Chain A
């Protein structure tokens, strides 16, 4: 094993004596509309007939392991075989913190209402909005995405999904130069060089290594025949099992990519040190890449969200295109949410753009920095929001969250989240992959069927059903208005 280090600093973590911040305090800091959300409501579990369902797909990450065995008694999930810790936790705790009734906010209280009332209020908010934003769509099925986009089109609003802050740059890079992609099976059966660049599947896609890197393939003999290279800004856990670890300066990956491309193009690198990597190491890595039989770069947010964002990915795509002059080489973006790829795909076939689509003029438009959810919220460009299957308050910047506290917000979600504290209307939905079926797309764009293994709680619909009802209501109200 080889290492190239920039020198590491040790970090010490101490216990704090400060009191733990309460949820209420957090909500107050974020200026939430409701400070007390009724979390802690669980679906009552009843043991009963024991069933084992095989080949269940896991609604956690874009690895979309579709080989889980789920053991159920009554409506209690008791075992998850094949899933990672996250998967086990999701299945076994599916009943916890559930929203079981629709709610409407009255002043600073959430009040239980009937589905009819909630839908009516939601439709009112949307129809009265001049420019609503629909956001989420990555933790649900493709069918839901399709309805959400239809709704945005009817409302002439904007619709976006979390690509906007994770792998959106990958889409933008494809828009600019294309790319060379691959799928799991080809990696397993052919890849003799796997480069993890700015990604750490040990923590993010837990089954990824045992599924794709360790197994013996048809033309390659498992881990021992594969070289693993890790390129990251710090020595990750994954680096310990790599054949070569290269540490780059944070945010400077493009320099290294450019240098690799220069090495492939026989251009001299005149600086001794590229983004913290010695020149000889660059030549060595380039040689390794060019002489691999089938190489794959599995990259994560370390590439997409560094310094020059989509330009980093663009250069990476070009590197791989260049490498195909020598050998077979491809990339695989390590996507996050289990159906974030599907939300891109559905958006593409309906609107022609992968995310950040706006319908203000009656047709689809996508301008990065203009129609992206983050920009719309931070600058206060929208006057209502519908959040389906996502928790933006937990991941968005403060300014964006603050705008959510100023505008009416509708949340469709199976579980209580921080975002529900910003909601004016909450409509509970079934969990896709457990209570609702549909399609989701794996990180390599392979569509996977998400099974329904349990019924949703009484009175709770799947999110696509809710959106369908909402669409009908919006059409009726708009027609009535006209």
Chain B
């Protein structure tokens, strides 16, 4: 079996196991970038893993005023959930609590081509207590909800898409410093070159990768990924860590399409592998039994081969 290598870094011939999730993508605009970003970051707060947070969410990127419907600076956010009903509930809560309340903001559908829509704006419009009005603005069906500041413009419906959640890579490094640097670079590379993806964890990085179920506590849904814990190397029999590895970081990627996630993985691998001290790139999976999407690292690198990653 040929071993894939980038420089000295071994890329394990394995795959990340990903699951279908429903996603929505919302463009939040505001009077300036600062407020768009504040609203976007609050609206995507505590949106890490579906295991324990109300939906996975993250900021995809900033949008130039030229590309937004109302010509104001914007930020794109994505929200993920396992089913449509929960996704809508979470979106209503997040937009209602974090965007409706934030100064000067407006919220637009950023999945215009999607066939399925959820009427989040219509649900939020009830906040207008009967004074809300429906209208057409920027060629979009919107609700104009009177608020103390003026008016909150929210699009009637946001598109929904069957997307891919749980794409990931594991960066195995000689020490924490190198690992963290590599992980940060990987996230930066995704932010810079990839579109349509989010990295929902803090700063895009997970230090506590998990496995499904538990060895000891039968009812726990997720517990520490003991096979990759450096402190357990001597305790755990079939540890997956090379002898000189002392720190592992995971990058989790949710994306609107499988290809988008693959590309993001490839970019992340490339960026991480460029950092000295990184030993190996691996990925989390459950033997291919659970997820319908098997995202091979090999393929990811293939997709990203034309990108000259500089971060």
Residues of chain A whose beta carbon lies under 8 Å from any beta carbon of chain B: 266-268, 270
- B84 x A266 contact (CB < 8 A): no
Interface assignment of B63: CB less than 8 Å from any CB of chain A: no
- CB pair B92–A266 under 8 Å, yes or no, is yes
B85 touches A270 (CB 8 A): no
| Inter-chain contact B117/A268, CB cutoff 8 Å | yes
Chain A, Cβ-Cβ closest to B117 = A268
User: Using a CB-CB cutoff of 8 Å, which residues 249-288 of chain B contact chain A?
Assistant: none
Which of B89, B92, B116, B123 makes the CB contact (< 8 A) with A270? B116
* Bound complex: CA A433 to CA B121 (Å): 59
| Cβ-defined contact, B116 with A267, below 8 A | no
| CB contact between A266 and one of B116, B117, B123 (< 8 Å): that residue | B123
Taken together as a complex, chains A and B put the C-alpha atoms of A270 and B118 apart, in Å, by 9
Q: Decide if the interface of chain A is mainly helix, strand, loop or mixed.
A: loop
CB proximity of B71 to chain A, nearest CB, Å: 30
Report 13 cross-chain contacts, Cβ distance below 8 Å, ordered by A residue.
Answer: A266-B88, A266-B89, A266-B92, A266-B119, A266-B123, A267-B85, A267-B88, A268-B84, A268-B88, A268-B117, A268-B118, A268-B119, A270-B116
With a CB–CB cut-off of 8 A, which chain B residues contact A268?
A: 84, 88, 117-119
Contacts of B118 in A (CB 8 A): 268
Q: Residues of B at under 8 Å CB distance from A?
A: 84-85, 88-89, 92, 116-119, 123
- Closest residue of chain B to A267 (Cβ to Cβ) is B85
Question: Chain A residues with Cβ under 8 A from B119's Cβ?
Answer: 266, 268
Please indicate the chain A residues that have their CB under 8 angstroms from the CB of B84 in the complex.
Answer: 268
A residues less than 8 Å from B85 (CB atoms): 267
Task: Name the 4 nearest CB pairs between A and B, nearest first.
Answer: A266-B123, A268-B118, A268-B119, A267-B85
Give Cα distance in the complex from A266 to B117, angstroms: 13
Complex-state Cα separation, A267 to B157, whole angstroms? 12
Q: Which residues of chain A are near B89, meaning CB under 8 Å?
A: 266
Q: A266-B92, A270-B116 are in contact. List 6 more A-B contacts (CB 8 A).
A: A266-B88, A266-B89, A266-B119, A267-B85, A267-B88, A268-B88
In Å, the complex CA distance between A267 and B122 comes to 11
CA distance A268 to B159 in the complex (A): 12
CA distance A111 to B85 in the complex (A): 70
In whole angstroms, how far apart are the Cα atoms of A270 and B22 in the complex? 15
Q: B127 to chain A: closest CB distance in Å?
A: 12
Looking at the assembled complex, report how far the CB atom of B52 sits from the nearest CB atom of chain A, in whole angstroms: 24
List, in ascending order, chain A residues with CB within 8 A of B116's CB: 270
Specify the chain B residue showing the minimal Cβ separation from A262.
B85
Chain A residue nearest to B157 in the complex (CB): A268
In the bound complex, CA of A394 to CA of B117 (Å): 53
Query: Which of chain B's residues has its CB closest to A268's CB?
Result: B118
Q: Which residues of B contact A270 (CB under 8 A)?
A: 116
The distance in angstroms between the C-alpha atoms of A334 and B88, with both chains bound, is 38
CA gap between A196 and B85 in the complex, in Å: 30
A289 to chain B, nearest CB (A): 14
The chain B residue with its CB closest to the CB of A266 is B123
Which single residue of chain A is at the shortest CB-CB distance from B120?
Answer: A266
Q: Which residues on the B side are within 8 Å of A267 (C-beta)?
A: 85, 88
How long is the Cα–Cα vector from A12 to B118 in the complex, in angstroms?
A: 46
CA gap between A266 and B84 in the complex, in Å: 12
Roughly how many angstroms separate A267 CA and B86 CA in the complex, as a whole number? 9
B123: chain A residues at CB < 8 Å are: 266
In the bound complex, what is the Cα–Cα distance between A266 and B89 (angstroms)? 8
- Complex formed: what's the CA distance from A63 to B308 in Å? 83
A274–chain B nearest beta-carbon distance, Å: 15
A286 to B85, CA, bound (A): 18
Q: How many Å lie between the Cα of A268 and that of B89 in the bound state?
A: 11
Give the Cβ gap from A282 to chain B, nearest Cβ, in Å.
Answer: 12
Closest beta carbon of chain B to A327's beta carbon, Å: 13
Tell me how far the C-beta of A88 lies from the nearest C-beta in chain B, rounded to whole angstroms.
Answer: 48
A266 partner residues in chain B, CB cutoff 8 A: 88-89, 92, 119, 123
A268 to B118, alpha carbons, bound, how many Å? 6
Closest to A270 in B: B116
- In the complex formed, the residue of A with least CB distance to B123 is A266
| Chain B nearest CB, measured from A269 CB (Å) | 9
CB distance from B296 to the nearest CB of A (A): 35
Q: Which single residue of chain A is at the shortest CB-CB distance from B116?
A: A270
A266 to B92, alpha carbons, bound, how many Å? 9
Nearest CB of chain B from residue A283's CB, rounded to whole Å: 8
Return the chain A residue nearest B85 by Cβ.
A267
Distance in angstroms from B61 CB to nearest chain A CB is 27
CB distance from A134 to the nearest CB of B (A): 48
Q: Which residue of A lies closest to B84 (CB)?
A: A268
Nearest Cβ on chain B to A272's Cβ, whole angstroms? 13
- The minimal Cβ–Cβ distance linking B221 to chain A, given in whole angstroms, is 26
A322 to chain B, nearest CB (A): 15
Give the nearest-CB partner of A290 in chain B.
Answer: B126
Q: How many whole Å from B116's CB to the nearest CB in chain A?
A: 7
Most chain B beta-carbon neighbours within 10 Å: one of A266, A267, A270: A266
> Inside 8 A of B92's CB, which chain A residues have their CB?
266
Expressed in whole angstroms, the minimum distance between the Cβ of A286 and any Cβ of chain B is 11
User: How many whole Å from B89's CB to the nearest CB in chain A?
Assistant: 8
Q: How far is the CA of A270 from the CA of B89 in the complex (A)?
A: 16
How far apart are B139's CB and chain A's nearest CB, in angstroms? 21
Q: In the complex, what distance in Å separates the CA atom of A266 from the CA atom of B123?
A: 6
A266 and B119 CA atoms in complex are apart in Å by: 8
Q: Complex: how many Å from CA A270 to CA B84?
A: 11
In Å, the complex CA distance between A268 and B116 comes to 10
Nearest B residue (CB) for A326? B126
With A and B bound together, what is the CA distance between A192 and B108 in angstroms? 38
> CB-nearest residue of chain A relative to B124?
A266
Q: In whole Å, how far is A262's beta carbon from the nearest beta carbon of chain B? A: 9
Q: Separation in Å of the B162 CB from the closest CB of chain A?
A: 14
Shortest CB–CB separation between residue B39 and chain A, in angstroms?
21
Tell me, rounded to whole Å, the shortest Cβ–Cβ distance linking A270 to chain B.
Answer: 7
Shortest CB-to-CB span from B203 to chain A, Å, is 33
Closest CB in chain B relative to A18 CB, distance in Å: 57
CB-defined contacts of B88 to chain A, threshold 8 Å = 266-268
Q: How far is the CB of B281 from chain A (nearest CB, A)?
A: 41
Please, how many angstroms separate the alpha-carbon atoms of A267 and B88 in the complex? Answer: 7
Q: Which residues of A contact B117 (CB under 8 A)?
A: 268
Within the complex, what minimum Cβ distance (angstroms) separates A263 from chain B?
Answer: 10
Q: How far is the CB of B158 from chain A (nearest CB, A)?
A: 10
CB distance from B123 to the nearest CB of A (A): 4
CA distance A180 to B84 in the complex (A): 30
Q: How far is the CA of A267 from the CA of B116 in the complex (A)?
A: 13
Docked complex Cα distance between A267 and B91 (Å): 12
Give the distance in Å from the alpha carbon of A266 to the alpha carbon of B118 in the complex: 9
| Complex alpha-carbon distance, A205 and B159, angstroms | 49
